[in-house]
């Protein structure tokens, strides 16, 4: 699993096998995490610089129906990197 992008306390974009996964936090007082399998079009848009993981997170947070059929359970997070001090 490769971390492509990481925004602390927001989201992490991962590449695993032949798929890209976006894990993000949702909520205010109570938060939970969600992992979504990205579509080929979303991946292409990110690679072309036409979209970003942060923009997708905002879309997903605004309307959960945009990802419900692509939700991955359990949530996927990268292993702790010993060099990060975590």
- pLDDT at residue 82 in the model: 52
pLDDT in tens, 41-78: 999 999 999 999 999 999 999 999 999 999 999 999 98
| Distance of alpha carbon 44 from alpha carbon 58, whole angstroms | 18
Residue 12 pLDDT greater than 70, yes or no:
yes
Q: What is the 3-state secondary structure (H, E, C) of the chain?
A: CEEEEEECCCEEEEEECCEEEEEEEEECCCEEEEEEECCHHHHHHHHCCCCCHHHHHHHHHHCHHHCHHHEECCCCCCCCCHHHCC
Residue 86 pLDDT greater than 70, yes or no:
no
Average pLDDT, integer, range 35-42: 97
């Amino acid at each position: 699993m490769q971390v492509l992008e990481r925004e602390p306390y927001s989201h992490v974009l991962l590449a695993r096998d032949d798929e890209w996964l976006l894990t993000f936090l949702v909520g205010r007082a109570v938060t939970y995490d969600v992992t979504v399998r990205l579509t080929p079009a979303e991946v292409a848009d990110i690679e072309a610089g036409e979209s970003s993981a942060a923009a997708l997170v905002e879309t997903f947070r605004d309307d959960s129906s945009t990802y419900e059929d692509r939700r991955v359970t359990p949530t996927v997070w990268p292993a702790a990197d010993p060099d990060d001090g975590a």
